[in-house]
Chain A
């Protein structure tokens, strides 16, 4: 099922159906189930096969699939963000762009350096790079899937028209990635937004709940960011150490094959041991990446989405208060009172709507977060234990054999 990744020749890296690697705990119910059943990696894009099973009447069939690319996911996400109706909800964070650049570079460098290493070394390194490529691939598929599942699980968002189009329309959505001008616009919009955010955040909230949430989220978001980057660095060092052990194993192997003396047989056994422990070490690093680093990254994005929600509410509050002031002024001057009244009404409604749903969303966010952390930490601990025990056993048996020989 797995072909050879070879970016230079543009061949595909095909992944068959694989188990859901969801790192967020979600309720799934039969009325709408979404998953990514397949994915294809072509030269510089990934094509996801989005598979839906639904009993909802809006869809023409009960089960269907479409092929989507990353840009279309972003389009869907942005459409949620820009929709005023959804201002009171935490919009599930968009999946990050599939990034195979680093891996591709390494593969290329390996190809260039082919002449300078032995055949065994080359094959080994190639296998490792392929495994890395596969891991990144799996991760990006998982993240896109999580996004869709979050939308499908949300009581309001799942009914969104764009979402249904996304799931069902089996031709190209003609969504293009943002061009330079649009990206610049976005950039400026963000600058304005963060300045505004600071202003809005400065307004003290009457409601204790939201005030508390504001301070909590701010601090939490920063610390998650910190933890996420530190965990990345730690895992990278771990991987480098595992790579070194690999090279030690090969050199020992070369030493061991030079002769058939006692010492050489010894070297061969130790080389074998290091090969095996190295694989375990690499798995440890990979698992830490999956269970810890990815978790932190995800909650980095979600906490940002929650902060955005609070910002929108804060904005609505400021608007409401401004509308109140305008109304008072209008009443005092007795001019355009009706206009001021209606605008005040609108603002009030908007604000109250957001507040109501925001409260629920934030509580849900907490529950989801605790559940996700629990699941991942338990799995992390179990995996670490499993690998440490595996390592231990390998070492024990090898030391036993070596000591028995001498």
Chain B
């Protein structure tokens, strides 16, 4: 689907599997996506997505170079998970404008037209401007979701399988939408593979959620209570965020392993992810030795930027850990408050029953009901405390660890370069000595070694420069992502607080007349 060619407008809709093609007037587009229609929708209706919705998923859905932006106002509410049922209908809503109308009102619907060229020219200059605006954003039309945790098997060999659904218009994938089933070790396996390949380049690779032997055992054993349901939900959400971060990363997305993970139906069982395996032990040993070497390396860097940033990262991690601990404590206290409120409500109801003044008795029962409602509020509040705030902090603590790892990689590269340099120096000394001692045969060998090491030194220096550039770029990107993430999550959290307070107000307003009616 070479997108940069000009195409004639196809015959107007009527056929079932019409594939309306984009019209690219003068712009080349590397990611020229075809507009797709749901299979069930031969005739698309004119469709004006909300600009409000259109702005939020900007990063996921905007396409920088194309003028045929998909009217993809599938909002992020869907992206966070309910793919499964609506998969076939997902694109039923996405329709293409066929009207003669000027789509200038919608930010994204530039040029999606099949009407004869009359109006086309009018819309093209517009889309140019829109393109300019969108050029700066990361433009991936890519969306992943992790849903439907299902327990497969029984007993200690059981595991949870998660459905990974992808929706994309990127050409490197075979289909537009597809889903596969994956288990937790598959996610870990993906991380291992990416780690091996990319960490040497200085990429910040998002770490997956942690293993939890206790949590999983409970699930395996089949304990069907709220704590294991919580655990599964927590893991599902964490896996989803993990995948979203991976596909957001421009270079990781290009990795064939990622593609395979998302597309391939059956993935070979990832080995080396089990804690007690041989690979697991090896990893532990490596980590220990890394820790030791970390302490001894110190780059005499002319570029103080890296030093400063590393320090910032370390202190930030410390603060986030503190914050996470406090948020945890808050979640616990709220849960406690929830329980105590419920108990108190019951006790109040009993008191109301035994009160013989009818108005007071009724008021006390009403109070008991209000407290009951408070309990629900507290419970929801605790959940949002946890799922929005605590998990955000936990994610970033792990991510900051990955960032530090990145910096360490750079240090290792530097060390390698320095070591090569000192080896070269030694070889040169050897050569000098040989010259003095006049042994021509060994001299030749020495000269060869020198050339070899000179080459290595140059290469390692280049490597170091390259990794420095990458790390810098990655770090800036990470900072941007982090800033955005924190802001949006905290705002989301505050909004949940807001809603809870609104209901608070409502409940007490309902109670007040009851209290006043006591005679």
Residue ranges of A at the interface with B (Cβ–Cβ < 8 Å): 216, 219-220, 223-224, 226-227, 230-231, 233-234, 236-238, 240-241, 244-245, 247-248, 251-252, 254-255, 258-259, 261-263, 266, 270, 273, 277, 366, 369-370, 373-374, 377-378, 380-382, 384-385, 388-389, 391-392, 395-396, 398-399, 402-403, 406
Contact = CB atoms under 8 A, between A and B. Distances in A.
A220 B351 CA distance: 7
A227 B490 CA distance: 37
A400 B355 CA distance: 47
Given A220-B354, A227-B351, A370-B357, A392 B491 contact: no
Interface string B491-515: 1001101100110110011011001
Given A223-B347, A233-B340, A237-B340, A248 B327 contact: yes
Contacts of B491: 399, 402-403, 406
Contact of B482 (A241, A245, A252, A263): A263
A384 B315 contact: no
A122 B481 CA distance: 35
Given A234-B337, A259-B312, A270-B490, A251 B508 contact: no
B480 to A, nearest CB: 10
B235 to A, nearest CB: 25
Contacts of B509: 385
Contacts of B277: none
Given A248-B326, A255-B316, A388-B501, A241 B354 contact: no
Cβ-closest 4 pairs across A and B = A237-B337, A244-B330, A374-B518, A377-B515
Contacts of B508: 381, 384-385, 388
Contact of A252 (B323, B367, B501): B323
Given A226-B350, A377-B515, A378-B515, A258 B333 contact: no
A369 B505 CA distance: 27
B69 interface: no
A79 B315 CA distance: 66
B363 A402 contact: no
A108 B515 CA distance: 42
A247 B330 CA distance: 10
Given A223-B350, A237-B336, A248-B327, 20 more contacts: A216-B354, A226-B350, A230-B340, A233-B343, A237-B333, A244-B326, A247-B326, A251-B319, A263-B483, A370-B360, A370-B519, A373-B518, A374-B519, A377-B363, A378-B515, A384-B504, A385-B505, A385-B509, A392-B498, A395-B497
B378 to A, nearest CB: 9
Given A241-B330, A248-B326, A366 B312 contact: no
A370 to B, nearest CB: 5
A231 B337 CA distance: 11
Interface in B406-443: none
Contact of B502 (A233, A248, A392): A392
A384 B503 CA distance: 12
Given A234-B337, A241-B330, A378 B487 contact: no
22 contacts: A223-B347, A224-B351, A226-B350, A227-B351, A230-B340, A236-B340, A237-B333, A240-B333, A248-B327, A251-B322, A251-B326, A263-B486, A266-B490, A273-B494, A370-B357, A374-B519, A381-B508, A388-B505, A392-B498, A395-B498, A402-B487, A402-B491
B22 interface: no
B323 A248 contact: yes
A395 B356 CA distance: 42
Given A254-B319, A385-B512, A395 B350 contact: no
B356 A241 contact: no
Given A230-B343, A230-B347, A374 B315 contact: no
Nearest to A371: B518
Contacts of B319: 251, 254-255, 258
B341 A234 contact: yes
Contact of B323 (A237, A251, A381): A251
Contacts of B445: none
Contacts of B355: 220
B305 to A, nearest CB: 14
A373 B367 CA distance: 12
B344 A231 contact: yes
B175 interface: no
A40 to B, nearest CB: 35
Contacts of B275: none
Interface in B309-332: 312, 315-316, 319-320, 322-323, 326-327, 329-330
A252 B393 CA distance: 12
B516 interface: yes
A262 B498 contact: no
A234 B319 CA distance: 31
Given A255-B323, A266-B486, A381-B512, A241 B333 contact: yes
A402 B312 contact: no
A22 B509 CA distance: 25
Given A248-B327, A273-B494, A374-B515, A391 B501 contact: yes
B334 interface: yes
Interface in B80-130: none
A388 B347 contact: no
B188 interface: no
Contacts of A237: 333-334, 336-337, 340
Contacts of B504: 384, 388, 391-392
Contacts of B239: none
B164 interface: no
B505 A389 contact: yes
B348 interface: yes
Contacts of A220: 351, 354-355
